[in-house]
């Protein structure tokens, strides 16, 4: 007899990123859907991995991550954000930001707890909350700027609020929060026990002279925050699934209790290689904003003369467009048709909303070689 298993996630199917990347591959379309670069990380980073493998660093890494990598992270964070995180107790290397965020939720959220998120919301947060018995409450980010309405956020706070999950620079909108946003957040959370998870995977991808406002840099918010970044985004290695989490000692203690049973430890030789590379090439991360700003501008230029209406893009490697001048189809249908008939795969933005709100907006990933963007541009101008 088959066991009966009521789903813990009845509303959830396969993630849109997997669905669209598969459809792109099946159709031979240019894949501007799932967010990943189609160019390589520096060869030197690969050589370093090979060296560490050859040197025999192939068994389990230490639980919090290898010391040289935690030291390199501490130095970077001190340098960029004037924040001192203790190398032994306040920094943990994780198997991607997804695992860091899930682990922070699992460590803190109990059945019945409420967690505030912002819609459009990155797709892993709410399943993470619900698997741990929590309930997501949604604040809304409105096009074209997708910035928080702090009065709405205030209205969502109840005695049951355990956590708020924030994400700047924001996927999918490319919105970037200001210092004033952080002040509003700090004021709202003052005198509460609410924990913050700050998803900062695009911390180095902020444009037009704006500065990333890390919670690590905010004296007050830092005390209640898990700050998450991802090497996948910074070093063009999304397939390595290595990231890190920063948090004050007491929070990190609870995080590690869960971390050790979710994943235990993270890929050893690649951590060592990243530690070497960070030390040898601090300029790499610092140059990322200019690198991606040039790609953003190049891609936006490709779309000029098309019928797509460009929304602002202040950070990340995603560009939103409104396609109302082309079609009135639902965005999921439009995304499929773009892939099958026009040969360019995109992400429909309705999938980032709990009720599937459809504003006829789709997301392009511009972390691509110029040839890819030119080829996509030719097809998109013909739509």
CB of 59 to ligand PMP, least distance (A): 23
Q: Using CB atoms within 10 Å of the CB of residue 96, give its burial: 0 to 12 exposed, 13 to 18 middle, 19+ buried.
A: buried
CB of 47 to ligand PMP, least distance (A): 23
Neighbouring CB atoms inside 10 A of 193's CB total: 10
Contact 92, 258 (CB under 8 A): no
Residues contacting 264, CB < 8 A, separation 6+: 60, 63
Query: Smaller CB distance to ligand GLN: residue 34 or 372?
Result: 34
232 binds ligand GLN (CB under 6 A): no
CB of 112 to ligand PMP, least distance (A): 26
Question: Which of residues 103, 198, 230, 271 is near ligand PMP by CB under 6 A?
Answer: 230
Closest CA to 254 of 323, 169, 197, 170: 197
CB of 233 to ligand PMP, least distance (A): 7
Query: Smaller CB distance to ligand PMP: residue 76 or 241?
Result: 241
Spatial separation of the C-alpha atoms in residues 236 and 112, rounded to whole Å: 38
336 binds ligand GLN (CB under 6 A): no
Which parts of 299-358 interact with ligand PMP (CB under 6 A)?
none
Query: Smaller CB distance to ligand GLN: residue 173 or 213?
Result: 173
Contact 185, 193 (CB under 8 A): no
- In SS3 terms, 144-158 reads as CCCCCCHHHHHHHCC
Q: How many helices (H) and strands (E) does the chain have?
A: 15, 13
Q: Which does 232 bind (CB under 5 to 8 A by kind): ligand GLN, ligand PMP, none?
A: ligand PMP
213 binds ligand PMP (CB under 6 A): no
Spatial separation of the C-alpha atoms in residues 43 and 61, rounded to whole Å: 24
Q: Give the number of residues in contact with ligand PMP, rule: CB under 6 A.
A: 14
Query: Smaller CB distance to ligand GLN: residue 15 or 327?
Result: 15
Q: Which does 137 bind (CB under 5 to 8 A by kind): ligand GLN, ligand PMP, none?
A: none
CB of 91 to ligand PMP, least distance (A): 16
Neighbouring CB atoms inside 10 A of 138's CB total: 17
Q: Which does 15 bind (CB under 5 to 8 A by kind): ligand PMP, ligand GLN, none?
A: ligand GLN
Q: Cα torsion at 268, 271, 277, 282 (round to 10°)? A: -170
Q: DSSP 3-state assignment of 18? A: helix
Contact 310, 299 (CB under 8 A): no
Spatial separation of the C-alpha atoms in residues 253 and 259, rounded to whole Å: 10
Query: Smaller CB distance to ligand PMP: residue 174 or 343?
Result: 174
Separation in Å, CA 333 to CA 41, 165, 337: 34, 30, 6
Question: Which of residues 114, 199, 203, 331 is near ligand PMP by CB under 6 A?
Answer: 199
Q: Give the number of residues in contact with ligand GLN, rule: CB under 6 A.
A: 5
Neighbouring CB atoms inside 10 A of 182's CB total: 20
Q: Which does 76 bind (CB under 5 to 8 A by kind): ligand GLN, ligand PMP, none?
A: none
Which parts of 166-205 interact with ligand GLN (CB under 6 A)?
171
213 binds ligand GLN (CB under 6 A): no
Question: Which of residues 33, 98, 225, 332 is near ligand PMP by CB under 6 A?
Answer: 98
Question: Which of residues 49, 141, 217, 243 is near ligand PMP by CB under 6 A?
Answer: 243
15 binds ligand GLN (CB under 6 A): yes
CB of 280 to ligand PMP, least distance (A): 22
What DSSP designation does 239 have? G
Binding site for ligand GLN (CB under 6 A): 15, 17, 34-35, 171
Binding site for ligand PMP (CB under 6 A): 35, 96-98, 122, 167, 171, 199, 201, 230, 232, 238, 241, 243
């Amino acid at each position: 007899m088959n066991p009966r298993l009521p789903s813990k996630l009845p509303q959830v199917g396969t993630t849109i990123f997997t669905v669209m990347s598969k459809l792109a591959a099946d159709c031979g379309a240019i894949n501007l859907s799932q967010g990943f670069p189609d160019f390589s990380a520096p060869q030197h980073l690969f050589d370093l991995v090979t060296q560490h493998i050859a040197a025999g660093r192939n068994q389990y890494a230490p639980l919090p991550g290898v010391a040289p990598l935690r030291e390199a992270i501490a130095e970077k964070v001190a340098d960029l954000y004037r924040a001192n995180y203790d190398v032994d107790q306040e920094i943990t290397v994780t198997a991607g930001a997804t695992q860091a965020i899930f682990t922070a939720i699992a460590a803190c959220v109990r059945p019945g707890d409420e967690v505030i998120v912002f819609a459009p919301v990155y797709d892993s947060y709410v399943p993470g909350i619900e698997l741990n018995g929590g309930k997501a409450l949604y604040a809304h980010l409105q096009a074209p700027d997708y910035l928080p309405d702090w009065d709405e956020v205030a209205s969502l706070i109840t005695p049951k609020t355990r956590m708020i999950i924030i994400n700047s620079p924001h996927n999918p909108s490319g919105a970037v929060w200001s210092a004033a946003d952080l002040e509003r957040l700090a004021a709202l959370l003052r005198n509460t026990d609410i924990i913050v998870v700050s998803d900062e995977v695009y911390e180095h991808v902020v444009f037009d002279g704006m500065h990333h406002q890390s919670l690590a840099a905010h004296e007050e918010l830092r005390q209640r925050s898990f700050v998450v970044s991802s090497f996948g985004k910074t070093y063009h290695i999304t397939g390595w699934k290595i990231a890190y989490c920063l948090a004050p000692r007491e929070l990190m203690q609870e995080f590690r209790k869960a971390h050790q049973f979710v994943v235990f430890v993270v890929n050893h030789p690649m951590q060592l290689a990243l530690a070497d590379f960070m030390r040898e090439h601090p300029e790499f991360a610092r140059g990322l904003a200019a690198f991606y700003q040039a790609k953003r501008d190049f891609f936006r230029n490709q779309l000029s003369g098309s019928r797509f209406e460009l929304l602002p893009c202040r950070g990340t490697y995603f560009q939103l467009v409104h396609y109302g001048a082309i079609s009135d189809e639902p965005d999921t249908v439009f995304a499929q048709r773009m892939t099958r008939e026009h040969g360019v795969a995109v992400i429909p933005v309705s999938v980032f909303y709990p009720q599937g709100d459809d504003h006829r907006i789709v997301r392009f990933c511009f972390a691509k070689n110029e040839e890819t963007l030119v080829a996509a541009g030719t097809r998109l101008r013909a739509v």
